[in-house]
Amino acid sequence: MIAYTPIDISCKIPEHELLVDYIEKNHITNLKDQYGYTSLLCAIASKNLILNWQDANDVFSNRTNKELTFAPGVTDIFPELIDIANLLPFKDILGLVLNLHTTLLESHRDDLLNLGVYSPERYNVLLSPHYEQDSFFISKEKHGEKHYPKILKEYPIYAFNNNEAYHGADIVLDKRVILILIGNLDEQKHIELINRSVEKFKDYVIRY
């Protein structure tokens, strides 16, 4: 399987300081109490019906909306993030989340969406200047050898297999910010993009 590849899409990303400032002011405040998760998460778009974007119970509720809704101010402050979402091969975006790492992340798998979809099926974007720095790792076994993907400055979008490969973060990098995109993929467009990217970035691809 292809466990990791940079993605062949050039994009603009927001200023790091602006992102950190936004996350510090708008992150979900009860994540640790409700879910035991300690890094700062900030939902910026969702198909859930959200009244309070800082309340985990609201953000992760099962009340769905028909439309993707953006958190207040996001379309004005971070148009680059919306452009990125539109450039990726989703047929239906369910949520966009900013994540500012504050703690180590144990080796784990996520089995949420896109099970059985051509791997790698999870798209993230590195939004802070931590290119080519070890922290985020991928591993075939839960406690197997760790491989640190090289995330490229010119191509900060990457894809990895999040439901068969294990992954985590074993160093806390100062104010590392990623965008997590959750949605249903247009499989044909997704496969074309992955194959093109794997060919272009063959020296950076991780396979198991």
Pick from 92, 110, 111, 132: which binds Fe ion (CB under 5 A)? 110
Q: Which of these segments, 11-19, 107-115, 122-130, 171-179, binds Fe ion (CB under 5 A)?
A: 107-115
CA distance 181 to 97: 7
CB of 121: closest distance to Fe ion in angstroms?
13
Count of residues engaged in binding Fe ion, rule: CB under 5 A: 1
Closest-approach residue to Fe ion (CB): 110
CB atoms within 10 A of CB 78: 25
Q: Please name which of 167, 164, 158 lies closest in space to residue 194, comparing C-alpha atoms.
A: 158
Question: For Fe ion, which is the closer residue by CB, 74 or 151?
Answer: 151
Tokens of 89: 């091969």
Q: Which of these segments, 3-11, 67-75, 109-117, 149-157, binds Fe ion (CB under 5 A)?
A: 109-117
Helices within 27-94 (DSSP H only): 31-35, 56-59, 74-77, 79-87
Q: Cα 97 vs. chain centroid, distance in angstroms?
A: 7
- Is 4 within 8 Å of 206 (Cβ atoms)? yes
Strand (E) or helix (H) holding 91: strand 90-100
CB of 110: closest distance to Fe ion in angstroms?
4
27-66 residues in contact with Fe ion (CB under 5 A) are: none
Any contact of residue 24 with Fe ion (CB under 5 A)? no
CB of 177: closest distance to Fe ion in angstroms?
16
CB atoms within 10 A of CB 66: 7
CB of 160: closest distance to Fe ion in angstroms?
9
Interacting residue ranges for Fe ion, rule: CB under 5 A: 110
